[in-house]
Amino acid sequence: MRVSKEKLKELITNKLNKAGLTEEHAAGVADVLVHADARGVHSHGAMRVEYYAERIAKGGITHNPEFKFEKTGPCTAVFDGDNGVGHVAAKLAMDEAIKMAKENGIAVVGVRRIGHSGALSYFVQQAAEADLIGISLCQSDPMVVPFGGAEPYYGTNPIAFAAPGKDGKNITFDMATTVQAWGKILHARSKNESIPDTWAVDSNGEPTTDPFKVNALLPISGPKGYGLMMMVDVLSGILLGLPFGKNVSSMYHDLTAGRNLGQLHIVINPEYFTNLNTFKEAIAQTMQDLNNIKPAPGYNQVYYPGQRSAEREEAYEKDGIEIVDHIYDYLTSDVIHNNSYDHKSPFAK
């Protein structure tokens, strides 16, 4: 099923509004989800709506939160999200970080007490579109075995980075610190597809290809990915005085309670280090250089990070976004949610 960006935004906004969010916040979430779907990151797009709708309807996301922004120094601030939707809080916090980095060269803004905020590429691209470098990190629920461990401790703790190039193009890198994001397992489930045996382990700690048997995810590159997820947890959790490690709230445990998650935005103004045009030219040159690298056997070309997503976004603009049929059916139905997520282990079917 192919749907235009505008139509998809409208369907998501209506559903989340009916679940209890204000129209403004529902539209804010829709914008981030459609951004993800349009970039081909379906794991963080419309497929999440029913989960959000259930959490909103049950009160685990504040319907009309009282956001508080507090500057704690010339370049630092804390944004309290009052456990409203993370997407909107993280966007507004990035708006503030952009203003601060324009004035002072750098901004570090902690976003405290929020719900899930979706695909982090959205927020770092806000910075790149303002001719700044954006970095964003956030906590996520514990579902990853630390290197050498048999029990989950860290979340899929993503890291995103974007820097502006020329002609409105930017380089955007955005990844979970696991081999795959949890949403990719959900996406495989939604399409009834198997997964590579390098993504996750079953309840015995054995690699599995069945997305329904996944019991924990694996960090990227063993101890190195494990180290990165530790770093994300320190910067977006411990630094902000929030629960950390295995005490980070679960996405699916008690949908009546706020999640108290943390996110950290770091914005750097290139003008405080070099000439902005020189910087943007060099980023554009890097993008070109990478495309010009001779491809290895089996590859058509080298893409710069974020290139394939940007190309998908352009193609979807013309042809509409591809949405799995049952998700479209849910979005166009009168159902708010089917009570399918509360108190489920994230690894349950």
Active site residue 116: yes
Sequence-ordered list of residues with C-beta below 8 angstroms from that of 174, at least 6 positions apart, any chain = 119, 120, 121, 124, 158, 159, 160, 161, 162, 306
44 interacts with ligand NAI by CB under 6 A: yes
What is the spatial distance between Cα 36 and Cα 315, in angstroms, rounded to a whole number? Answer: 14
Nearer to ligand NAI, 16 or 119 (CB): 119
156 interacts with ligand NAI by CB under 6 A: yes
* 74-to-79, 106, 124 alpha-carbon distances in Å: 15, 9, 21
80 interacts with ligand NAI by CB under 6 A: no
**List 116, 187, 259, 280, residue binding ligand NAI (CB under 6 A):** 116
**List 78, 164, 309, 341, residue binding ligand NAI (CB under 6 A):** 309
* Residues 168-187 within binding reach of ligand NAI (CB under 6 A): 173-176, 180-181, 183-184
> CA-based angle 181:341:211, to the nearest 5?
40
Q: What's the alpha-carbon Rg for the chain, to the nearest Å? A: 20
Nearer to ligand NAI, 118 or 258 (CB): 118
Nearer to ligand NAI, 36 or 75 (CB): 36
Q: Where are the alpha helices (DSSP H) in the chain?
A: 5-19, 23-38, 49-57, 86-104, 121-129, 182-191, 223-236, 276-292, 307-319, 325-332
Backbone angles phi, psi at 174, to 5 degrees: -150, 110
CB nearest ligand NAI: which residue?
A: 119
Query: Which positions from 268 to 307 touch ligand NAI by CB under 6 A, shown as an x/- string?
Result: -----------------------------------x-xx-
> CA-based angle 30:13:21, to the nearest 5?
100
The amino acid occupying position 49 is V
Element (H, E) at 269: none
Can you read off the two tokens belonging to residue 123? 């927020």
# residues contacting ligand NAI (CB under 6 A) = 27
What is the spatial distance between Cα 141 and Cα 118, in angstroms, rounded to a whole number? Answer: 13
Candidates 116, 187, 265, 337; catalytic one: 116
**List 128, 132, 160, 216, residue binding ligand NAI (CB under 6 A):** 160
Binding range to ligand NAI, per CB under 6 A, among 39-47, 98-106, 205-213, 314-322: 39-47
Binding range to ligand NAI, per CB under 6 A, among 40-48, 226-234, 274-282, 313-321: 40-48
Binding range to ligand NAI, per CB under 6 A, among 68-76, 153-161, 190-198, 276-284: 153-161
267 interacts with ligand NAI by CB under 6 A: no
What is the spatial distance between Cα 344 and Cα 349, in angstroms, rounded to a whole number? Answer: 9
Residues near ligand NAI (CB under 6 A) are 41, 43-44, 116-121, 138, 140, 156, 158, 160, 173-176, 180-181, 183-184, 303, 305-306, 308-309
> Known catalytic residues?
116
